[in-house]
Amino acid sequence: MTAPVPATEEMDATTIPGTAADEVDNALSPLIAGFIGSVFMMIGSLGVGWLAPVSELRRMPLFIWMRTEAVGVALSIVLLAIGGMLLVRAWLRLGQRVRVWGLQARRATLQAVVAWGLPMMFTVPLFSRDVYAYIGQGRLMVEGFNPYENGISALSNYFQLGADKMWTEAPVPYGQLFLWIEQFVVWSTNVHPEASIMLFRLAALIGIVLCIIYVPKLADLHGVNPHRALWLTAANPLFLTNFIASVHNDALMIGLALAGLYYCATRRVVFGIVLVTLSISVKPITIVFLPFIGLLWAGKGASWPRKFLYWGLTAGLSLALLFAMSRVNGFGFGWINGLSAPGSIWIWYAPVGLMGLVVASIANAFSLDGWGLAKWVYDAGKVLAVGIVAWQIFKGDHDRLMRRLTLAFAAIVLLAPMIQSWYVVWLIPLFAVTGIRDDWQVKALYFIVSFFMVYAISDQLEVFPYLQTEDLGLALTLARNAAAIIALMFALYLIFLDPRTKHLFSKSDQPVTTRPII
């Protein structure tokens, strides 16, 4: 991580003679397929995407038909599910069409990002309604409230903003920079929901561009093919849907963090720390990067006193910048209170969340405090994550610093009781730039992307309960089940039946041509 290393690990994949035209075998087909899938998702979002109750779109005839008529909702679900999985297949097929991971592959990847991402810029928010919480928090700022002390319920008619009810009293977990972005967006749009969403998407687009710029640069520093790393990251359906369609601020967070890591790795450490600190001031989770930056600054072979000195310098510089930003509004470090919120929620597919569920179920069967015991499981996961982070900080080769950072970050994500799909997207660029082998590692990524796309498609849908009359929860249950079945059947087709993609998920006898820095 300390000096540029030629990308020589994939000699058979990067030194094959031939013209640029020979590098990619007809990328047009997957590009068009992915574009169609993205357009399907855009159309489907009109019926089941999240709209604010005050949105003027609710009064448009097309939206009324797609959101209140059974046929319109059914069409929206089908288009959303098929479109999302078409996007997965297009991503896989684009990777298959690459013969040589060179400049032509990079061009095809960038074309895919534009073609697949452009329709998502105009979707009704999908898979999450956090963007409406951003609008509410921005309105708090505009009206003079402290978002670290007041939930959006402090606002008049806050329920019309469209945010999930969990945000009504929840402390804000975002840093000062993102609060300013929220304030500017709401002030400049006068709380207009669709205009606000577009501005938040443009902020996310800045993060996406930063990822596109710095993922190849970081990969090249590690001797990893930069063009393959870019395809694994930026054209990835999870990356595009979470950062564009879902409008998550994580795009800006990870983009700034990657840019900062690159400058730290190329001896421009102070500027790098500033960028990582800006990332922290979007979402503070990237504070875990700082100890590794301190080690990088100390240099290879540094003594323990030197390491502690540069840890102190790194922390002091970052803390000073955060303190200066906090003094502008006088909010201080109120975001610390918000960090505990995600840890209090669990989900069944998170390993620690599943363990907690099993413990709670068994304990409840014996009339014990099951969920009290489950909390012990969640706390044990947090302690284990902290232990792994500490191990990666204090033990390991200096040349593996980026990989050690990646493993530490992965421990924080994977040992939490709640894992969201956008948490996984934090990790993909970090693993990609330090190397994802084309054996079980890349196959695991294919499975993870497929799983989270299926889950996202069926998880958060806005479906009106009055599509039926007897059971108020039946319409939403039927809609989610229909979306899940369609997406799951498509995923199973890709994995087991599709003659073009099924071997990507099975054991291969081909030699491994890519290896990570481990």
Residue 172 has pLDDT above 50, yes or no: yes
Residue 362 has pLDDT above 70, yes or no: yes
> Residues near 390 by Cβ (< 8 Å), separated by ≥ 6?
none
Token pair in block for residue 294: 């301190």
Please give the span between the terminal C-alpha atoms of the chain, in angstroms, as a whole number. Answer: 12
Tokens 């992915």 -> residue: 34
* Rounded mean pLDDT, 411-415: 95
Classify residue 409 by burial, with Cβ atoms within 10 Å: 0-12, 13-18, 19+: buried
* Rounded mean pLDDT, 129-137: 92
Residue 17 has pLDDT above 50, yes or no: no
- What is each CA distance from 60 to 66, 119, 463, in whole angstroms? 10, 20, 17
Residue 343 has pLDDT above 80, yes or no: no
Give 106-129 pLDDT, tens digit per residue. 999 999 999 999 999 999 999 999
Residue 200 has pLDDT above 90, yes or no: yes
Lowest mean pLDDT among 205-219, 327-341, 393-407: 327-341
pLDDT given for residue 381 in this prediction: 94
pLDDT given for residue 33 in this prediction: 96
pLDDT given for residue 344 in this prediction: 57
Residue 70 has pLDDT above 90, yes or no: no
- Percent of the residues in the chain that have a pLDDT greater than 70, as a whole number: 90
Token pair in block for residue 284: 């503070």
What angle (nearest 5°) sits at the alpha carbon of residue 313, between those of residues 309 and 316?
Answer: 135
What pairs with residue 24 in β-bridges?
A: 98
pLDDT given for residue 93 in this prediction: 95
* Rounded mean pLDDT, 258-264: 96
pLDDT given for residue 31 in this prediction: 96
Residue 216 has pLDDT above 90, yes or no: yes
Give 482-516 pLDDT, tens digit per residue. 888 999 999 998 999 989 998 888 876 565 555 54
Residue 14 has pLDDT above 80, yes or no: no
